[in-house]
Amino acid sequence: MNQYRWDAKRQLIWLTVGLTLGTLVAYQDAHDDDGTFVPRFFIFMETLVLIIIGVLFYLYSRRKSDK
């Protein structure tokens, strides 16, 4: 039971840090050469961040259930 609780905390920490850093990088990269924010590119980059995190969570949960 204690292992499950730590695993859930670790997943929450990784999710929070991944979303925060991913959003920060996407926001910084979503500015063009003039410094203008490009919302369309930000949404694209944020979508990629969410897809990557989703795939990693799927792979992690699949590996854990195989054991």
Question: Residue 38: what are its φ and ψ, rounded to 5°?
Answer: -110, 100
CA distances from 45 to 3, 15, 34, 35 (A): 34, 17, 19, 17
Q: Where are the alpha helices (DSSP H) in 1-67?
A: 2-29, 39-66
Domain range summary for the chain, segments of one domain joined by +: 2-66
The token duo for 42 is: 């930000």
Amino acid at 22: G
Residues 6+ apart with CB under 8 A from 39: 30
Q: What is the mean pLDDT of each run of 10 residues along the chain (67 residues)?
A: 72 90 94 94 95 88 61
